[in-house]
Structure 1
Amino acid sequence: MANLSSGKILIADPFLKDPNFMRTAVFLCDHQDEGSIGFIMNRRYNKTAGELILDLEGCDFPVYFGGPVQTDTIHFLHQSPQFITGGIEVTDGIYWGGEFEEVVEAINLGKLTDQMIRFYLGYSGWGDGQLNGEMKEKSWLVTDGNKRLVFFPDENQIWREALKQLGGEYEQLVNYPIDPQLN
């Protein structure tokens, strides 16, 4: 079984039918025996940051559907610790959270672009042993998280790009139909 840890990307198996996670790539921010937390990277929400966050009125940065848990909360990943303090470095220059007032100030001053920060509505969460069970069922493939994938400019290509990063036989999976029986 793959070595799960913070900073990994879970790639939904091409045949996974769960509507919450079909053809998704999830960046794991925290993985412990007691549970795991991550964000779906490739599902854009239908509102912008400015439409959801009062202090960012007029900001057209996209917001992504982070997962089905606590969808009334906003989270963020960034690569700008020089502007946002208090974040947790998950892996290689990718930070989770930080001082939100600094986020607002940096965006309003034009110091942050939408390629430097990603906002998520809700998160993906797994309880004690749940994710390990899904791994045994082969629901997920695992690759290393990196800034290229987490901040990829076209969210519709993240799942494919994550599979390509695995190389070899996995690259062929990008062309598999969702239901091969219908092919």
Structure 2
Amino acid sequence: MDWRAFRAQLVQSEKPGNKSIGAEGSMMPAAKRWAHPILAPEAGCVLIATEKLDGQQNFERTVILLLSPGSNNPREGPYGLILNRPLLQRIKDIKPKDRAWVKHFGNCQAHLGGPMDTEVFLLLHGTSGIKGYQEVIPGVYCGTSEGLEPVAEFAKRGNRSLPQGFRFFFGYSGWGTDQLKKEIAAGLWCVAACSSDLITSTSTSGLWEGVLQLMGGKYLELSKRPRRKQY
């Protein structure tokens, strides 16, 4: 069981008037899709832009999967990938130098991971045990273009469904050691844990609103606010 789903059950059980407690006092299974706020960033959480980022082209109404919350090392700040910025192009349209990309992943959607660098990140789900991929949350793995070769080899062995569980992100979103904490304190981001199917969904349309609505309360209200006009 995903320990995060167990935590989600606990969070649900603490809500007034909840229906997550069974007749004998045992907790009921968590809903398939869930999201709830957490106190501090952690690997695998999501950052949800608030209305204070409306008008900021890079991050307006974005949902970012945080791959690492950073460390005490000033060179290892938090970083992650924007989940809901699909590009118009597919991999075959970008015409990468490595033709293996087109052969095995040509029809995969390209996404903008963030404004930093030109590194290509790969998000994979539905399989495991591929060298060079780090598990972000149970069942979801992340690597870079350097790890594409073992994935291609995996595809050659007959796993035809692999590209559907494979997402390409160009660039990433990153912060200095204390920068993200300051932005959260200033109300630029909501920090939340959510079910993995929200992260792996092939359609990101309405993801920002969807996560906030699942969180409920003041977050539900935020999901309904129109974009702020910038003067």
Helix, strand or coil: the match of 1:160? helix
Amino acid at match of 2:52: F
How many residues get paired? 180
The answer to whether the 8 A contact 2:70-2:79 is kept is: no
Helix, strand or coil: the match of 1:101? helix
Q: How well do the aligned residues superpose, as a CA RMSD in angstroms?
A: 2.3
Aligned twin of 1:113 = 163
CA distance in 2, matches of 1:55, 1:145: 34
Greater fraction of residues in strand: 1
Q: Call closer, same or farther: CA 1:135–1:100 in 2, change over 3 Å.
A: same
CA distance in 1, matches of 2:61, 2:204: 12
1:28-86 deviations in Å (ceiling 9; x for gaps): 0011234111000000112212334431225211011000001x221011114436332
Choose 1 or 2 for highest CA Rg: 2
Amino acid at match of 1:57: V
Deviation at 1:164, TM superposition (A): 1.8
CA distance in 2, matches of 1:121, 1:95: 16
Amino acid at match of 2:134: I
Aligned twin of 2:51 = 14
Aligned twin of 2:86 = 44
1:23 aligns with one of 47, 58, 61: 61
CA distance in 2, matches of 1:107, 1:74: 19
The answer to whether the 8 A contact 1:81-1:87 is kept is: no
Deviation at 1:104, TM superposition (A): 2.4
CA distance in 2, matches of 1:127, 1:107: 37
The answer to whether the 8 A contact 1:91-1:146 is kept is: no
CA distance in 2, matches of 1:180, 1:123: 27
1:112-168 deviations in Å (ceiling 9; x for gaps): 032x12110000000121101101111000111432111123212211122123122
The answer to whether the 8 A contact 1:77-1:117 is kept is: yes
Aligned twin of 1:162 = 211
Helix, strand or coil: the match of 1:120? strand
Unaligned residue ranges in structure 2 (runs of 5+):
1-37
1:135 to 2:184 alignment? yes
1:8-36 deviations in Å (ceiling 9; x for gaps): 10000033132110000000001123411
Aligned twin of 1:176 = 225
Q: Call closer, same or farther: CA 1:51–1:180 in 2, change over 3 Å.
A: closer
